[in-house]
Amino acid sequence: MFYDETKVYLKAGKGGDGCMSFLRQKYMPNGGPNGGNGGRGGDVYLLADENISDLRAFHFKKHWNAKNGEPGRGSDQNGKGGADCVLKVPLGTEVREVESNEIVCELLNHEQEFLALEGGKGGRGNATFKSSVNQTPRQFTEGKPGLEGNFVFTLKTIADVGLVGFPNAGKSTLLNVLSNATPKVASYPFTTLVPTVGVIDYPEDFASITMADVPGLIEGAAENRGLGHRFLRHVERCKLLLFLLDMAATDERDPAEDFEHLQKELLDYDPRLAEKPFVVVGNKNDEENAVENIKEFQKRFPEIKPLFISAVLEDGLDDLKSILLKKLKEA
């Protein structure tokens, strides 16, 4: 299972109570107050870690607490501060507060840290209340409670290029031959159930880009049908979209209509996705019926200049790699 969304309850530590104490020694009958302050409660931090792939740790454990501060003690001993709670999350994690539904933070870079909740302040011991007019104070204060709240963690894949296409378009095969990723490849739809990110290297340019293969769309995905929003949220942060079309019409689909449906789903989900730069790639051009479908697509979309490839035969991939790098530099 791949866990890309979960609800958690977070609580910072309570501050330790202040102490009321007086010095009691044989030869110091008027020793005075010596109650120490309580320690501060621990904070809750979120830390982005590139070595973590999903949110499974928070799916199986919903409650996370920082430690409370220790109370003050006599002999002017202050309590120890509570230990912080540091939660490591994958890159691309968005955090929302449940009640307000407001975005609290987005963690996009490795080792990016965010203070989610502050611990409570420690209470004052009676020694701090001593003054010229109050030599034997009996006042002390309790520690303040730490902040707490319910949050939703949502993982949105970070990649330069997002592969967009219907099931069986060949997205996994394309990512497999272009990069170091090894997504599952089979001749039935929805073989990809989790986002897969691969790295495409350009040794001659001393560059590399990342490409995400995410679960295939179906009509109505923007309305959360099929894998719905679980797919669409993973293309939000991509700089460039690659529309991959099945020119062989393996499932008796019309590639031109597929392209229109894909654009509509993106627009319905978030109009900003339709504004992203994109590349149209027709796959499976080695099949017999691909020629007619290519002609029909060019007739319906004369303003678009698609690239036609065969991922299985690795035909046209060098041109595709060059186009992707050029488009990303322009984005």
Kindly state the average pLDDT of the residues 302-328.
Answer: 92
Please tell me the predicted confidence (pLDDT) of residue 110.
93
Query: pLDDT, tens digit, for every residue of 125-143?
Result: 999 999 988 988 999 999 9
Mean pLDDT of the chain: 86
Kindly state the average pLDDT of the residues 304-317.
Answer: 91
Report the distance separating Cα 301 and Cα 284, nearest Å. 19
**At how many degrees (to 10) do helices 290-300 and 255-269 cross?**
50
Sign of CA dihedral 211, 214, 219, 225: negative
Q: What is the DSSP string of 120-169?
A: PPPPPPGGGG-BTTBSS-----PPPPPPEEEEEEEE----SEEEE--TTS
3-state class of 265 per DSSP?
A: helix
Q: Which domains does the chain have, with CATH numbers?
A: 1-155 (2.70.210.12), 161-330 (3.40.50.300)
Please tell me the predicted confidence (pLDDT) of residue 136.
87
Residues in the chain: 331
Instruction: Note the pTM of the prediction, 2 decimals.
Output: 0.76
Query: pLDDT, tens digit, for every residue of 265-288?
Result: 888 888 888 888 999 999 998 888
Give strand pairing partners of 310.
315
Report the distance separating Cα 166 and Cα 190, nearest Å. 9
Tell me the one-letter amino acid at 154: T
